[in-house]
Homo-oligomer: A and B are copies of this chain.
Amino acid sequence: MEGGGIGLKKKLDLGDVEWTLEGGGRLSEVEVAYTTKGVLSPLKDNVVCVCHALTGDQYMADCHPLTGKPGWWEKMVGPGLAIDTDKFFVVCSNVLGGCLGTTGPMSKDPKTGLPYGLSFPEVSIGDMVRVQKALMESMGIDRVFAVVGGSMGAMQVLDWIVRYPESVGYAVVVAGASRHTPQNIAFHESGRAAIMSDPHFYQGSYYDKDEDMRPRRGLAVARMMAHITYLSEGALQRKFGRRRRDGGSRGFQSDFEVESYLRYQGSNFVKRFDANSYLYLTRAMDIFDLSSEGEGSLVKVLSGVKSRVLVVSFSSDWLFPPRESKLIVRALAAGGCFVSGALIESESGHDSFLLDDRPFLKIVGDFLRGGWRNEGGTV
């Protein structure tokens, strides 16, 4: 059957109709870029859908084509690893609104032949999930064995199990939340302000400009700021402390090591990411709200879930703190769902889900392996 592949692309069959998004906007064409690992079983019952985070992409376990760096989840996805490609057929697609092949603000609007820019419609987490589901259907897959994702990926997993309760066997929600707090929104808004204040932003219509005439400075600032929220105070202390470069003061030129690290993060990021996509995807996270009225209705929303769910949080994650995961676990349990919660002791903050954290990898692996045995998987 279908084997692993990178850099794959598929135009979704929308029939004769346009794709109407949750925010009301429409797209007449949707293309999805994705990668796969492992082999699809004859019964098509071994599919794991991996959902990427805000600045992630489909290169979960393959070298990134722009940066040359290893896949962001190469410790998680592979032969014998937690998401075991000897057993599973793993699919990861670039989200709707993204900038690495899937239709997004930098794609050409078929109506005008020009990049969408800010005329791209508002995208929701639900829209991303609907596109992923359509991609699965295009491969003849009606039900996935598991959906797994961290951060914005966790939001997608939550949407999957609510939207398609019959289509997901197991779900792993990592470092996620059922909605953004006002502090989360505030950090995102500062980042968006940095981008939109960049004079090279041109109201989002900068695609005809040279690379250095695009809003890269604003995007780099947004990334610097966001990056602080991905790390814990303890991690920064351990990694950098108050160490200075070359021992002396350099005025405003990255005197402290933590400063030059952040600047490096910012300037590297702009080589692989699009400013408009950053606006659309941060917005999608901000408007995501599984329950608009607190825990009571979260129980109601989650009561239809049929998947078995593992919810993982990290002790030092202050962006999506353990208490947010706890709310999800409680609501799922109150709704009669099968749910396990795991709080991983970690010093690395929100970014823990991307690191080589043994207890984390083990718990995900055990959960999926147990589920696979339960289901009597065919591989």
Taking Cβ atoms with an 8 Å cutoff, the residues of A that contact B are 23, 118, 122, 179-183, 185-187, 189-190, 192-194, 196-199, 217-218, 220-221, 224-225, 228, 233, 236-237, 239-242, 249, 251-252, 254-256, 258-259, 262-263, 266, 279, 283, 286-287, 289, 292
Identify which of B194, B239, B249, B259 contacts A189 (C-beta below 8 A).
B259
Least CB distance from A267 to B in Å reads: 10
Partner of A187, one of B181, B228, B241, B255: B228
Assess whether A236 is in contact with B182, with CB atoms less than 8 Å apart: yes
| Contacting residues, chain B, for A254 (C-beta < 8 A) | 189
CB pair A218 B197 closer than 8 Å: yes
Docked Cα-Cα span, A285 to B233, in Å, equals: 18
- What's the minimum C-beta distance from A379 to chain B, rounded to whole angstroms? 43
The residue of chain B having its C-beta at the shortest distance from the C-beta of A289 within the complex is B242
Chain B residues with CB below 8 A from A258, complex form: 182, 185-186, 189
**Is the beta-carbon distance between B189 and A241 smaller than 8 angstroms?**
no
Contacts of A237 on B, CB cut-off 8 Å?
A: 181-183
Query: What is the distance, in angstroms, from A237's C-beta to the closest C-beta of chain B?
Result: 6
Task: For A197, give its contact among B220, B242, B279, B289 (CB under 8 Å).
Answer: B220
Report yes or no: B193 in contact with A224, Cβ–Cβ below 8 A. Answer: yes
Q: What CA separation (Å) do A259 and B255 show in the bound complex?
A: 32
A259 to B185, CA, bound (A): 7
CB-CB nearest in chain B for A232: B183
Cβ contact within 8 Å between B122 and A249: yes
Question: Within the assembled complex, what's the spacing in Å between the Cα atoms of A190 and B231?
Answer: 14
Q: A186-B262, A221-B221 are in contact. Are A236 and B181 (CB under 8 A)?
A: yes
Q: Are A221 and B199 in contact (CB under 8 A)?
A: no
Question: Is there an interface contact between B192 and A194, defined as CB atoms closer than 8 Å?
Answer: no
Select one of B181, B189, B198, B220 contacting A224, CB under 8 A.
B189
* Contacts A182-B258, A242-B289; A190 near B225 (Cβ below 8 A): yes
Pairs A–B under 8 Å by Cβ, sample size 11 = A183-B233, A183-B237, A185-B242, A187-B228, A189-B259, A190-B225, A190-B228, A190-B262, A197-B220, A221-B221, A249-B287
Instruction: Flag if B193 contacts A241 (CB, 8 Å).
Output: no
The answer to whether A236 touches B183 (Cβ under 8 A) is yes
Closest B residue, CB atoms, query A244: B287
How far, in angstroms, from A122 to B221 measured CA to CA in the complex? 24
In Å, the complex CA distance between A225 and B283 comes to 17
Q: Kindly list chain B residues whose C-beta atoms are within 8 Å of the C-beta of A198.
A: 197
Q: For residue A218, which residues in chain B have a CB less than 8 angstroms away from its CB?
A: 197
By a CB distance below 8 angstroms, the chain B residues around A292 are: 242
A291 to chain B, nearest CB (A): 11
Query: Which chain B residue has the least Cβ–Cβ distance from A218?
Result: B197
Q: Judge whether B190 and A240 touch: CB under 8 Å.
A: no
**Nearest-CB distance from A211 to chain B (Å)?**
16
Q: Which interface residue of A179, A193, A249, A258 has the most chain B CB atoms within 10 A?
A: A193
Whole-angstrom distance between the Cβ of A293 and the nearest chain B Cβ: 10
A185 CB contact (under 8 Å) in B180, B182, B194, B256:
B256
Residues of B contacting A182 in the complex (Cβ-Cβ under 8 angstroms) = 233, 236-237, 239-242, 256, 258
Contact A242 B179 (CB under 8 A): yes
Query: Smallest distance from the beta carbon of A104 to chain B beta carbons, Å?
Result: 15
Residue among A252, A256, A292 with most chain B CB within 10 A: A252
Q: How far is the CA of A256 from the CA of B192 in the complex (A)?
A: 13
Q: How far is the CB of A116 from chain B (nearest CB, A)?
A: 13
